[in-house]
Amino acid sequence: MTLNPATDLLTRARTWLAEDPDPDTRAELSALLAAAECGDGTGSEDECRSWSRLSERFSGTLQFGTAGLRGEMGAGPMRMNRAVVIRAAAGLAAYVKRGGAHGLVVIGYDARHKSYDFARDTAAVMVGAGLNAALLPGPLPTPVLAFAVRHLGAAAGVMVTASHNPPRDNGYKVYLSGDLKGSQIVPPHDAGIAAEIDAVRSLNDVPLATDGWDVLAEAEILEPYLSRAASVVDPHTPRDLSVVYTPLHGVGRDTLLSAFKRAGFPTPSTVTAQGDPDPDFPTVSFPNPEEPGAMDLAFRTAASLGPDIVVANDPDADRLAVAVPAHGTATGWRMLRGDEVGALLATHLVSKRAEGTFATTIVSSSLLSRIAAAAGLPYAETLTGFKWISRAEGLRYGYEEALGYCVDPEAVRDKDGISAALSIAELAAGLKESGRTLADLLDDLALTHGLHATDQLSVRVADLKLIGNAMARLREQPPRALAGLRVDSAEDLEQGSADLPPTDGLRYRLSGDAVSSARVVVRPSGTEPKLKCYLEVVVPVASGDVLNAARERATALLESIKRDLSAAAGI
């Protein structure tokens, strides 16, 4: 007999409720069920709202992919909760064992709501499955977990974090050893783990240990991480640098301050109101240093202290933001783009005679390729995300425009906002001793390689169908010109190539008299409900006298491209 949709929904919700191990989500789901069971979804406004909320939570399952899991917390299979995490952990445990690994699974967590619960549940599942498990000694940055996987020779690692997502979200990031060398999962591993998760029919089938996992001591993992992070800077380089720092209510503060002390730098001045971990992120509307307003308190602190630079980590401290003095602006400071910091760090590593591949993504600036070519170093371009950058052959340095930098891939096969902060501090201190700044070095790069100006058009949507519609429209009717620049090629990245696996994205290459080259990449975000468009124009610079004019020309072109692209995509 076929159940009607309302009866089927109630049955699935009751079944889920019976297995849910968390009293908080049980209470949430019980309230929704009580309201929905009073009618059939066609009654009062309050009743219909309850049906809608219930239906939304049971419209499918939160999908496990190359970003692991990430989503809003709450009851039901479409939310992040203990039941979903236990299933994910059971799938991961089965996948690890199927691959023949019976070693350690190390588990980290940040300070978000439920992060510790999710980490503890993961440990209970691993031990119940016959694997060894160890928790990090407390809420710590994601790069400490990535370090731990390689340092301890673990079979796998799990980091419970939603990174820079809103307070209501949480996530579950997976690292594997073997062919991935302790980096984040990529296909086919994501599909393999997802299949094992789908095979979990009932939480009653998942053995949960009540104890038996280890809790690592700081001396076992945090001390080795700090020593390695401090080693990225030369002990004989200058250390005179004043820094204002904000962890944006995340878990980066104590680790970053300890790393700076160990490396011999003066202690950064922390933005007091944002120093302690706080899962509600009370002083920011969105805990991402790239978002408008997120750095306001840091700039106010800097206005009173007058530091050389301002730096920030995102809440799990795998990303780094850098700001430099900018006289005449409203705040007196200018946030450097991720591409600018990426180029600065690359230039710094070249000056230190780094050897190996320099890698970035298809949405990042092409300036890195020119820096690498000038230094005679291999260069690689990957799909978006550090899970791809970390797989570049012979990787020595990698970065992505979204404020992620890997300066020591042998230790952390992922982006690391702590060691990157030490590297940028070393560079800034060395420049300061010579009477120069990070901004001066960026000018040098523009004179040498041309002004590489980048920008983004990012559209957040409530309905994911709007993203699909925009991508379909661009595929069916690709623009012929943007900002007066010719579109020389329109490449559908879903087709893949010899250099890149297939991905949902479009890449346009443009040309015109005003630029040396230009590029646009359009893709759906992998972690947020956004359509993201990445723009770059390269403007030739004959001398320092025309640098400001080149910047104005580039800014005007980027703004015009955004307008024309919005019209073409219908967004």
Q: Measure the CA–CA gap between 297 and 195, rounded to whole angstroms.
A: 45
Q: Measure the CA–CA gap between 518 and 486, rounded to whole angstroms.
A: 10
Sheet holding 451-460, edge to edge: 451-460, 530-539, 517-524, 506-511, 485-492, 481-482
Which stretches within 37-81 are classed as H helix? 45-57
The SS3 call for residue 492 is strand
Q: Which two tokens stand for residue 453?
A: 């100006």
Answer for the pair 416, 407: CB distance below 8 angstroms, yes or no.
yes
CB atoms within 10 A of CB 10: 18
51: nearest Cα among 63, 42, 60:
42
Active site residue 458: no
Beta bridge partners, 531, equal: 459, 524
Please tell me whether the peptide bond between 188 and the residue prior to it is cis, using omega within 30 degrees of 0. Answer: yes
Q: Which two tokens stand for residue 88?
A: 């994910």
Q: What is the 3-state secondary structure (H, E, C) of 353-410?
A: CCCCEEEEECCCCCHHHHHHHHHCCCEEEECCCHHHHCCCCCEEEEEECCCEEECCCC
323: nearest Cα among 434, 439, 230:
439
Count helices and strands (H / E) in the chain: 17, 22
Vertex 318 angle, CA 313 and 320, to 5°: 40
The SS3 call for residue 175 is strand
Q: Measure the CA–CA gap between 470 and 194, rounded to whole angstroms.
A: 28
| DSSP state, residue 328 | T
Q: Which of 55, 115, 163, 183 is flagged as catalytic?
A: 163
CB atoms within 10 A of CB 375: 17
| DSSP state, residue 185 | -
Amino acid type, 474: L
Q: What is the 3-state secondary structure (H, E, C) of 256-271?
A: HHHHHHHHCCCCCEEC
Q: Which residues are catalytic?
A: 163
